[in-house]
Amino acid sequence: MNNSSAAVQPAMQAGASPWPVFWIASIAVFLVSLDATLLYAAFGPLGRSFPGATPADMSWVLNAYTIVYAAMLVPAGGLADTHGRKRVFLAGVTLFLAASAACGLAGSVGLLIAARVAQALGAALLTPASLSIILDAFPKEKRAVAVSLWGAVGGLAAAVGPSLGSTVIDRFGWPAAFYLNLPLGAVSLWYGAARLRDAGAGAPRQRVDVVGMLLLILAVGAFAMAITQSESPHWSRAELAVLALTGVAGLGAFIAWARTAAAPLVDLALFRNRSYSLVNLATLAFGTAFALMFFSYFAYLTNVWHYSLPAAGLAVTPGPLTVVPTAIIAGRIAGRYGHRRVLVPGALIYACSSLWLFSMVGGEPHYLAQWLPAVLLSGTGVGMVLPALAGAAVAQLPPAQYAVGSAVNQATRQLGGALGVAIAVVLVGHAGVARADFVPLYVLHMGLALLTCVLCLGVKTR
């Protein structure tokens, strides 16, 4: 975005507590993050409900959401910065809720995929706007804690999605997975409309960079599609290579355009800040590792230890439950001493979770002695790293770039997640998977965590 000097007004009246703003914005982000992983548990029931659909058709129920969400995050952040965070946030929540209802009512795979695309658009609109609303609401000295909690809410929702989804779907059927969004989303929409003030309200509206928006959608969408379709039998290696090259060409064209445009979607000066660049590289590495871990947990528990999906969800739950309390403590440390103080040890703890799985977990189930320590280590690492990366990405940005700066970081995480799932499918997504198949996955996971640690050594946000 351009370096606008427009005054940014607080999200609520001066003197009011910022925590109502936090919960209004965080409820919506909780639902978005929940939906990103909840459908892992719904994939089997969905296939049985649409017997005429092929597995490739069903994969688009997941992939369409991932691709559109990743591609639209940065353009949506630009819209929030130029057209008002409250306005874009409420539009995103409204679209997300309407699309959730349409998903539950869909009578065919085609309608379900179309509704998932609309869901992703709504999610992309509300996510960067929600973080910028929270940043505007809190004084500078309390932002690290608030951002850590915001990231923890999303991380918790993503982690509990499969276990919650498996329980709800088992009792009420797959449409209930989408109807879960409606009551909580309605609360966020109602109170958001009544209590939020639009940051930047009254400031001159900036021109939207439509060319930059289209080029970035092309680039990120092509990259995301190449990753998510890497194992699809319907795409040849040549076609996937063309997709990847299209992404490279689109990104190159976007950079060239941003250098010359009067008001570019993303001000490339953002990346002259060494800490911001390092944080986004670390986010790509950690987002890939997070997806690898998540996929491998359920694959190992269901295929090697032969747990049912609901039992596997319960077995993983102690890890997510450590995320929020860890993030609260880590946020206070980051606010006082800088994000590096929590990012570096958090990444090392996260690497230790893979080392434990590699060396201690065997082929026979021993939950308390073997599995529980691993999920507690990973939950602690995620609570320290994932929210702190989101906080470090925006810690030194001017208010006019809150939404687009956080959107770049969130889009980077989404691409890392898509890459992690694609790698995990190659390594342990086949039939007859055994413990030995997880060894290269654990080694890669550990390497990505250590890479995150090294990158974060250069982050300076104190």
Query: Domain extents for the chain?
Result: 10-209, 272-462
Model confidence at 314: pLDDT above 80: yes
The string of pLDDT tens digits covering residues 366-411 is 999 999 999 999 999 999 998 899 889 888 877 777 778 888 888 8
| Range 272-462 classified under CATH 1.20.1250.20 | yes
Contacts of residue 322, defined as CB under 8 A and 6 or more positions apart, other chains included, come to 376, 379, 380, 383
Q: Specify the pLDDT at position 304.
A: 92
The string of pLDDT tens digits covering residues 316-348 is 888 888 888 898 899 889 888 889 999 999 999
* Biggest distance spanned by C-alpha atoms of the chain: 64
Model confidence at 62: pLDDT above 90: no
Q: Specify the pLDDT at position 406.
A: 83
Cα 398 to Cα 33: distance, rounded to the nearest angstrom: 26
Lowest mean pLDDT among 284-288, 289-293, 299-303, 420-424: 420-424
Computed over every residue of the chain, the mean pLDDT equals 84
Cα 320 to Cα 251: distance, rounded to the nearest angstrom: 35
Residue given tokens 């390594």 in the structure block: 427
Rounded average pLDDT over 259-279 = 86
Model confidence at 241: pLDDT above 50: yes
Per-residue CA distances from 303 to 377, 431, 438 (Å)? 22, 9, 11
| Overall pTM surpassing 0.85 (yes/no) | no
Cα 15 to Cα 420: distance, rounded to the nearest angstrom: 44
Cα 182 to Cα 98: distance, rounded to the nearest angstrom: 9
pLDDT grade, residue 56 (50/70/90)?
A: low
Model confidence at 3: pLDDT above 50: no
Tokens (6 digits) for 35: 């939906």
pLDDT grade, residue 164 (50/70/90)?
A: confident
pLDDT grade, residue 354 (50/70/90)?
A: very high
pLDDT grade, residue 199 (50/70/90)?
A: low
Residue given tokens 């206070």 in the structure block: 332
Q: Specify the pLDDT at position 413.
A: 87
Cα 4 to Cα 2: distance, rounded to the nearest angstrom: 6
CA-angle at 42, arms to 41 and 47, nearest 5°: 130
Cβ burial of 167 (10 Å; 0-12, 13-18, 19+) is middle
Radius of gyration of the chain (CA): 21
Model confidence at 289: pLDDT above 80: yes
What one-letter code names the amino acid at 415?
L
Residue given tokens 């929409």 in the structure block: 189
Rounded average pLDDT over 436-448 = 94
DSSP structure string for 216-233: HHHHHHHHHHHHHTTT-T
Establish whether domains 10-209 and 272-462 are of one fold.
yes
Rounded average pLDDT over 215-234 = 81
Q: Specify the pLDDT at position 205.
A: 52
Asked if 100 and 119 count as a contact pair (C-beta separation under 8 A), the reply is: yes
Tokens (6 digits) for 274: 């060494």
Homologous superfamily (CATH) of 10-209 is: MFS general substrate transporter like domains (1.20.1250.20)
Per-residue CA distances from 239 to 8, 220, 223, 254, 297 (Å)? 46, 16, 12, 22, 31
Q: Specify the pLDDT at position 6.
A: 38
Rounded average pLDDT over 133-137 = 86
Q: Specify the pLDDT at position 61.
A: 81
Rounded average pLDDT over 253-262 = 90
The string of pLDDT tens digits covering residues 100-118 is 999 999 988 889 999 999 9
